[in-house]
Chains A and B, each alone.
Chain A
Amino acid sequence: MSSRSAEGGGTGIDRARPLRFLLDGRTYDGLAGDTLASALLANGVDVVCPSPILGRPRGVFSAGAEEPCAFVEITAPRFEPIVPATAVELVDGLEATGRPGVGRLSPDGADAPTADHRHLHVETLVVGAGIAGLRAARGAARTGERVLLVDERHWLGGTAHSSDMIDGEPATAWIEGVATELNDAPEARVLIRATALGVYDAGYVVVAERGASWERIWHVRAGRVVLATGAHERPIAFADDDRPGVMLASAAVTYADRFGVLPGERAVVFTTNHTGHEAALRLADAGVDVAAILDVGDGGPATERARARGIDVRTGWAVAGTDGDPRVRAVHAVGPHGEEETLAADLLLVAGGWNPVVQLWRGIGGGLRYGDDRACFLPDGTGPAWLEIIGAAAGEGLPTVTPYWFTPAEDLSHHYVDLQRDSTVADVLEAVDMNLRSTEHVKRATYIGTAIDQGRTSGVLTAAIVNQAWGAGPGAQGPTNSRPPYTPVPFSALAGRDRGPLLDPTRCTPIHPWHVAHGAVFENVGQWKRPWYFPNDPSENLEAAVERECLAVRRGVGAMDASTLGKIELTGPDVATFLDRLYTNQMSSLAVGSIRYGLMLGLDGMVFDDGVAMRLAEDRFLITTTTGGAAKVMEHIEEWLQTEWTDLRVFAASVSEQWSTVALNGPSARDVLVALGTDIAVDRDAFPFMTWRDGRVAGMPARVARVSFSGELAYEINVPGWYGLAMWEAVMAAGGPFGIGPYGTEAMHVLRAEKGFVIVGQDTDGTVTPHDLGMSWIVNETKEDFIGKRSLTRPDTVRTDRKQLVGLLPVEPDVLLSEGAQIVMQDTGTIPMPMLGHVTSAYRSPVLGRSIALAMVAGGRDLVGSAVYAPMPGGTIAAVVTGPVFYDPEGARRDG
């Protein structure tokens, strides 16, 4: 069994600082500096969790992020769904449970730790603080550059603890020296417990740093990124190669040297290269009895040193399989001539060769080549100019390897390749038998490489088996690509503080506090909070409130906060010319003081936005946009002015939030305006429909516009934003005697639908022309050009069977159609049947006392008077096609 060495040792632990922790409810002792894995090995724990699919017992296989076996859920000090025990820093009171396969969310709903995001600019970022990374960071720091060095582990030096001397100094002293020098360099920063998740364009690297009670995401822009990510040792496949006690040879060295842990008592080493021999010697020094070294090659010079230590070194031998329950107790060895021998051992160390850690390198386009001597995939030097890869990650110091991937056997179904997926050599060969050639396809067939470790120990091995099976050279295909994040990162860390109310900015009008105080129910319109309806009391539902609000506007007067409408002021000598090109109709002929409704199209001829244009002066217009379209209309205007019509002298400025707008609608609107007190002449001849006037209203400077989205007599009172709330309160006070009430967006939608006014984005969807809407009257065909004009004569846009805007009256007046319902011509029949269109708006009209709907129906204008049907889950709804205007089609009400 494994145990903590009584003889001392362990450069990374503090034997004076014991820690207590739990695995699966049992208490264990560990030491400061331990990982959970090293502490478990110190306690003789063989099995950490069952394997995910077959439930085979699994123990600690590696000593780092490449771990494919020992996964745990951490419940204290804070919840982590699934992490390898080899990458968990031990803390006092840690509680863990073996958890194979898939993690789960915190069962008690515990919230994630605080996560902040920071941005950092450096000349040089070094990823990996092994010997190569420390040297690179020190070199950069000495030039005075801004330097960042990150490492995923909780210590500096990587595996340097297994080096005796570095640059003539003992390893620990050397690491200490570099750390001190970096600490003293004013522009250098060192982060441990910090994983580079991914390397992106132009030196952008995302780093996740773990704290005791927090997470931090660093967004780093580096002029130069140096990857010193080292190399991972890889396994060899043989029968029952997943048994606890089978471990990567280098991991055993790390446990012995860094943590003072002997991962077993009697070891067999199975190696393809000299590092297996070196590992055997170090473990022998640490007190492990090395029964034998089985080298599939000819051994090389290290053989002699091992033999000199009295170790039984056999060249040309391999491991065929293991026995044990569950831990390894016997190793079945096979000789060069087929001779078989069983060796007693509780530890089987595998040294299959080394894979440079090139995941980050590949992720940003770094190329790979196969190195025959080292039998691995190495960076080929191609890639972005700002990216470097050094040290073992670039193949430096990696041993010459006798390529050997799995021990041949008749039955390969217990030769595990991806231990985290329980996938075997047999599975890979089965995929090849299905004629899969690409490792990417084999991955999808076997799931190899799809687990948390993304195939760190299995990828190259799988590629080699596929290459061999197809009779291709060992480097014909490399492993499948892995993707960021390099190791899993909590979503909560990526989200940072952008959660809950901070997820997205909230925009409120200056009148908002009144709405809140009066119990408005809000809806989100883009980022805006708009009152949806104003219940009289909390028991009044949407339908009742909307009916009341609509009837108030039709019979008396209502007021709506219209401040969210987009507003853009355009100035300059060429402004009228520009607007003529922007809108489908003529704006240059508009008189100062007047207002005109306009449609904007995209270049494809489809309706893009709508609103009104007020001419403030010869060279000055104020246009409105839909609430949700304000930003895109501004961008549209800027784009045309900057990229195409650069000769036009026009400035555009967004003034949406400079103005607050109170829309006063209803037969009594004029009475309320008069009651407010105004110096504007308000009678119908002095202040006609579609004009605006500047003046004072209720003592405040105001611009009043006679525009109506309800069809009723209406005044939109615009005041500078900071007067908004005061004007609203004045309107409510002055309107009291006339029964004024506020109304929300739902009533506004009903009122406009009764009049057949479309809402861009509700009744249109980017595939609708003005002609489809029955709005040919607004398309000025005689204008030289406007945006989208040419597209209106494309063969597709002149089809007569295009979907057209129509009204629908359900045959049962109490039945409400559903927005989105499909329209067909048959009430019964075989499904599928031709779908002619869909309902875009559907409401109960209080003033009409029945349900109404707007719909886009193919050839709809020719169907007026016909019956159509909307099949719904509760039964088919019959409706009669009408024109889209349901109320006051002659427009008799707009002047009061």
Chain B
Amino acid sequence: MLLIPCPYCGPREETEFRYGGQAHLPYPADPAALSGAEWADFLFMRDNPRGDWSERWMHAAGCRRWFNVVRSTATSEIRSAYQIGEPRPESDR
């Protein structure tokens, strides 16, 4: 079970959180302008790297705030957590 550093509450057990998948996939400004392939890409396609990536979490049994986490998919180690709207920390790229 992960120990997730909620930026608002501090480290808490994974069971308090809801997973939100890949981060930094903004809703398109004008979905109608996208081709079918572009929309399908946004809707269905996700990265699947080995190593660090950014993912979304929501502290469902706590502050109920969404935030982003950089976590290694290889070791599950969490590098950092940051608020929605903040860029992914440079040092973790």
Contacts and interface: CB of A to CB of B under 8 A. Distances in A.
A604 B27 contact: no
A699 interface: no
Given A384-B77, A639-B58, A646 B3 contact: no
Nearest to B78: A202
Nearest to B74: A365
B76 to A, nearest CB: 5
A646 B85 CA distance: 9
Given A603-B43, A638-B58, A644 B1 contact: no
B84 A642 contact: yes
A370 interface: no
B66 A639 contact: yes
A221 interface: yes
A794 B40 contact: yes
B87 interface: no
Nearest to A382: B75
B79 to A, nearest CB: 12
A365 B75 contact: yes
Contact of A644 (B2, B3, B26, B76): B26
Given A639-B58, A644-B26, A204 B1 contact: yes
Contacts of B3: 201-204, 221
Given A204-B1, A204-B3, A794 B66 contact: no
Contact of A384 (B1, B32, B56, B75): B75
B1 A643 contact: no
A200 to B, nearest CB: 6
B10 interface: no
B9 interface: no
Contacts of B27: 644
> Which of the listed residues B1, B20, B30, B84 has the most CB atoms from chain A within 10 Å of its own CB?
B1
Contacts of B84: 642-643, 646
B12 to A, nearest CB: 11
Interface in B1-26: 1-3, 14, 18, 20, 26
A14 interface: no
A603 B58 CA distance: 19
Contacts of A791: 39, 43
A360 to B, nearest CB: 16
Interface residues of A, number: 23
Contacts of A443: none
A785 B32 CA distance: 8
Given A201-B1, A201-B3, A204-B1, A604 B77 contact: no
A790 B60 contact: no
Interface residues of B, number: 28
A789 interface: yes
B31 interface: yes
Nearest to A385: B77
Nearest to A642: B66
A834 interface: no
A794 B36 contact: yes
Interface string A2-23: 0000000000000000000000
Contacts of B36: 794-795
Interface string A176-216: 00000000000000000000000011111000000000000
B64 interface: yes
Interface in A632-646: 635, 638-639, 642-644, 646
Contact of A790 (B34, B58, B64): B34
Nearest to B2: A201
Interface in B36-50: 36, 39-40, 43
A467 to B, nearest CB: 27
Given A204-B3, A791-B39, A638 B64 contact: yes
A643 B84 CA distance: 6
A127 to B, nearest CB: 17
Interface in A588-604: 603-604
A789 B31 CA distance: 8
22 contacts: A200-B1, A201-B3, A201-B77, A202-B78, A204-B1, A365-B75, A639-B58, A642-B65, A642-B66, A643-B20, A643-B56, A643-B84, A644-B26, A785-B30, A785-B31, A790-B31, A790-B32, A790-B39, A791-B39, A791-B43, A794-B40, A795-B36
Interface of B: 1-3, 14, 18, 20, 26-27, 30-32, 34, 36, 39-40, 43, 56, 58, 60, 64-66, 75-78, 84-85
Interface of A: 200-204, 221, 365, 384, 603-604, 635, 638-639, 642-644, 646, 785, 789-791, 794-795
Given A785-B30, A789-B32, 8 more contacts: A200-B1, A201-B1, A384-B77, A638-B58, A639-B66, A644-B27, A790-B31, A794-B36
